[in-house]
Amino acid sequence: MTSDSFNLNPPPGFRGLLPDIPVHIYHRHLPHWRQNGATYFVTFRLADAIPQQHLSALKRWRATWEREHPEPRSEEDWEEFARAITSRSERWMDEGFGECVFQNPDLAKEMSSALLHFQGDRCETFGFVVMPNHVHAIIKPIGTFRLEQIVRSVKGFVARKVNTALKRTGQLWEPESHDRAIRDEEHLYRVIQYIGKNPAKAHLPTESWVRWIHPEWEKCGWVFQDVAGGAAVGGELSSDQEVHRTADATGSTDRNVHRTAAVTDQAVHRTVGNDGLESPSYGSFIENLHATPTKAALAVTGGGAAAISELLAVPGASGTVLEAIVPYSKRSLESFLGGACDSACSEPTVRALAMAAWMRARQLVEDEEATPPIGVACTASLASNRPKRGPHRAHLALQTTDETRSLSITFEKGARSRAEEERLTADLILNLIAQACGVDQQLPLEFREGEKLVKHSATAGEDLCELIAGSLDAIFMGDGIEEGERHTRGLIFPGAFNPLHEGHRQMAEVAAERMGLPVEFELAIVNVDKPPLDYIEIDRRVGQFGDDPPLWLTRTATFIEKSRLFPRATFVVGADTIVRIANPLYYGGEAARDVAIAELADRACRFLVFGRLMSEEFHPLSNIELPCQLLDLCDEVPETDFRTDISSTELRKHER
């Protein structure tokens, strides 16, 4: 921009970032800045607008960036990150990949109409460009309406229109939009010219795009440079052109609030105890929760049940609560989780509870087009009517389609009554739900000196989300495996690897040398009658293998399922595993077991069996009684070639 090109008065309605108003920052995969009254540059794309190989490259770049920029990350770090992601993404979007549905003029018109549907009501849209596979817009929310809410409503309406017109189903949009708060008039000018030149930069024919600038801005000279003289170009939507607006196109406000991730510790003007956000009354706070379209299943044990009471006490609770369960006894907790846990009050257990709650929520949501539900959990050990040896503490977790988040706090022992600890725990739960629902309010929290929230989170890429949801059956985490290669004979080492230890590595070395094949590890993220592993847990276990591990993530809970995924494979197992495979109790009887073993044989699968210490006695394969048809599928690694008595279970006990 030349120095004399900016002799313009500020356009009507525009407001940039102001230094004396708090800025709230949150991030999912991307950072998002929010300030009341600000104007935003928003980009949202079709789900298939960027090829998978580019998304994989972007994922690797992000992992490198995060290693080079460890937490805590500054505002400058996040600015650099956003610029880099945006630059790469928009270059790829301009390549015209995917369905490019907005090449259809009628659908481009629907997109334009939707962008102007809330004009003067929920937002001011000052300009936009509709490209074949993505959209740029300049939007200023009005009053209490949030940018996420507006964008989600627009995208939801257009998705229904496009799917109906093209007789298609499935996801249209990439869920997360790029957005940046526009700093000042000079920044605004650059944004307008950038989006205005986007069609020419992408070498698009005039019938493949639509752009528009607010007529009041045109009068002030705020125009795209190539129409500064007043001549409209092809693809231009003139300011006086009638734009079709569909009545009730996106539904009521309370059904279209977009879920956002938590406000992070990087928030500007952050105040201790309430994340720098407005501190509402209980009633209005919970009314705001109920007004969002996000519904939750809750599981609370040991403390925090007051959060359920608060939610149910305010009218409209059915808008938020799908189900609330308090699995208080040991047996109830194990029943809800599908098995025993190492510790009832721990961060891993609360994540498992949140995942189980999320799985229930998915079952209970009736409308497949609804906002994805969430699972929220808490496990606590609070002041009781008898002294406790351990610390008073609470663990909370949130599970969504693409994120696992946990919060843990240890209370100062004896500083509060049971009721006070319960109240604080309940408020933490309600704040966590509010963050997930996109409510820009938080209940005030009063912590004592030394009390600190310990936070963990992990987000998942599209492939892992699909694996959890069941639309993928496996993901290979390393390099060099094509889709068809898993159907050839291989050496697969399945396990929970919780943790991965030296015994596992030695077994892999012995197996590889004995069979003359490389070992590929397999971690099943699902287990029979248990919730899937959450994203934090998956990150932790995968991280044990280092970079580009020869590791499969699968949904195969049983060896029959593994044989279908890996026919002709040899499975590396311990003697304890082969005993379980032979146990008829896992099949409902001997006849069903024998049918399963026959299926393993039909798929040419075999087992390489290592001896294990069981009931304080070492058992090689030769000491184990097995059905003949299973024994025929087994090869033994003798004790003289390998023995180690390391146990993952014992290692976890020592870690606690």
Question: What are the pLDDT digits (tens) for 119-165?
Answer: 998 999 999 999 999 999 999 999 888 898 899 889 888 988 998 89
Contact 255, 400 (CB under 8 A): no
Instruction: Round to whole Å and give the CA distance between 576 and 503.
Output: 15
Q: In the predicted model, is pLDDT for residue 520 greater than 60?
A: yes
Amino acid at 27: H
Contact 147, 34 (CB under 8 A): yes
- What confidence tens digit (pLDDT) does each residue in 227-279 have? 533 333 345 564 444 333 332 333 332 322 222 222 223 222 222 333 333 44
Structure tokens at 115: 């962008």
E strands, 326-470, in order: 374-381, 392-399, 403-411, 454-459
Better-scored residue on pLDDT, 307 or 8: 307
Q: In the predicted model, is pLDDT for residue 546 greater than 50?
A: yes
Choose among 110, 97, 100: nearest CA to 172: 100
**Helical segments of 69-210, H only:** 75-93, 105-115, 147-166, 185-201
Q: Which CATH architecture has domain 14-255?
A: 2-Layer Sandwich (3.30)
Query: What mean pLDDT is predicted for residues 452-472?
Result: 89
Q: Is 367 exposed, middle or buried (0-12, 13-18, 19+ CB in 10 A)?
A: exposed
pLDDT at 272: 30
Better-scored residue on pLDDT, 27 or 656: 27
E strands, 488-527, in order: 491-494, 519-524
Query: What mean pLDDT is predicted for residues 357-380?
Result: 89
Confidence band, pLDDT 50/70/90 cuts, at residue 204? confident
Q: How many CB atoms lie within 10 A of CB 272?
A: 10
Return all residues near 259 (Cβ < 8 A) that are at least 6 apart: 148, 292, 294, 371, 372, 374, 400, 436, 437, 438
Instruction: Round to whole Å and give the CA distance between 50 and 59.
Output: 13
- What confidence tens digit (pLDDT) does each residue in 320-342 have? 999 999 999 999 999 999 888 88
pLDDT at 232: 35
pLDDT at 488: 52
pLDDT at 95: 80
H or E segment and range at residue 634: strand 634-637
Contact 296, 189 (CB under 8 A): no
| Helix orientation angle between 306-313 and 282-290, rounded to the nearest 10 degrees | 80
Instruction: Round to whole Å and give the CA distance between 236 and 192.
Output: 14
Instruction: Round to whole Å and give the CA distance between 541 and 538.
Output: 5
Structure tokens at 360: 């229930």
**Helical segments of 94-179, H only:** 105-115, 147-166
Contact 135, 172 (CB under 8 A): no
Sheet-wide strand order for 374-381? 321-325, 296-301, 374-381, 392-399, 403-411, 454-459
pLDDT at 235: 57
- Cα 179 off chain centre by: 18
Structure tokens at 137: 């817009």
Mean pLDDT value across the chain: 84
Confidence band, pLDDT 50/70/90 cuts, at residue 655? low
CATH of domain 282-459: 3.90.950.20
- Residue range 463-655 in CATH 3.40.50: yes
Strand 474-476 with 491-494, pairing: unpaired
pLDDT at 634: 97
Contact 336, 342 (CB under 8 A): no
Assign residue 248 a region (left: φ > 0; alpha: ψ between -120 and 50; beta: otherwise).
left
Better-scored residue on pLDDT, 485 or 84: 84
pLDDT at 349: 96
Instruction: Round to whole Å and give the CA distance between 26 and 176.
Output: 13
Strand 296-301 with 374-381, pairing: parallel
Q: Is 544 exposed, middle or buried (0-12, 13-18, 19+ CB in 10 A)?
A: middle
Return all residues near 173 (Cβ < 8 A) that are at least 6 apart: 44, 45, 46, 47, 155, 159
Q: Where are the domains of the chain?
A: 14-255, 282-459, 463-655
Confidence band, pLDDT 50/70/90 cuts, at residue 280? low
Q: In the predicted model, is pLDDT for residue 1 greater than 50?
A: no
Q: In the predicted model, is pLDDT for residue 62 greater than 80?
A: no
Name the 3-class secondary structure at 46.
Answer: strand
Better-scored residue on pLDDT, 251 or 375: 375
Confidence band, pLDDT 50/70/90 cuts, at residue 656? low
pLDDT at 28: 65
Contact 434, 292 (CB under 8 A): no
Q: Which segment of 14-28, 217-231, 361-375, 407-421 scores lowest on mean pLDDT?
A: 217-231
Name the percent of the chain lying above pLDDT 70: 87
Q: What is the DSSP letter of 132?
A: S
Strand 570-574 with 491-494, pairing: parallel
| C-alpha dist (Å) from residue 209 to 118, 190, 255, 297 | 22, 20, 30, 43
Better-scored residue on pLDDT, 370 or 115: 115
Instruction: Round to whole Å and give the CA distance between 311 and 290.
Output: 8
Contact 572, 610 (CB under 8 A): yes
pLDDT at 255: 24
Return all residues near 522 (Cβ < 8 A) that are at least 6 apart: 492, 493, 494, 495, 551, 552, 554, 556, 562, 566
Instruction: Round to whole Å and give the CA distance between 451 and 392.
Output: 11
Q: In the predicted model, is pLDDT for residue 299 greater than 60?
A: yes
- What confidence tens digit (pLDDT) does each residue in 66-95 have? 788 887 777 677 677 767 776 777 778 878
| C-alpha dist (Å) from residue 234 to 202, 218, 231 | 15, 17, 10
pLDDT at 74: 74
Query: What mean pLDDT is predicted for residues 570-591?
Result: 95
pLDDT at 339: 85
Contact 553, 538 (CB under 8 A): yes
pLDDT at 202: 86
- What confidence tens digit (pLDDT) does each residue in 425-435 have? 999 999 999 99
H or E segment and range at residue 325: strand 321-325
Choose among 82, 5, 81, 4: nearest CA to 40: 82
Q: In the predicted model, is pLDDT for residue 451 greater than 80?
A: yes
Q: Is the dihedral of CA 440, 442, 448, 454 positive or negative?
A: negative
- What confidence tens digit (pLDDT) does each residue in 618-632 have? 999 999 999 999 999
Three-state SS for 332-356 is HHHHHHCCCCCCCCCHHHHHHHHHH
| C-alpha dist (Å) from residue 84 to 65, 88, 90, 280 | 10, 6, 10, 37
Better-scored residue on pLDDT, 7 or 412: 412
Name the percent of the chain lying above pLDDT 90: 56
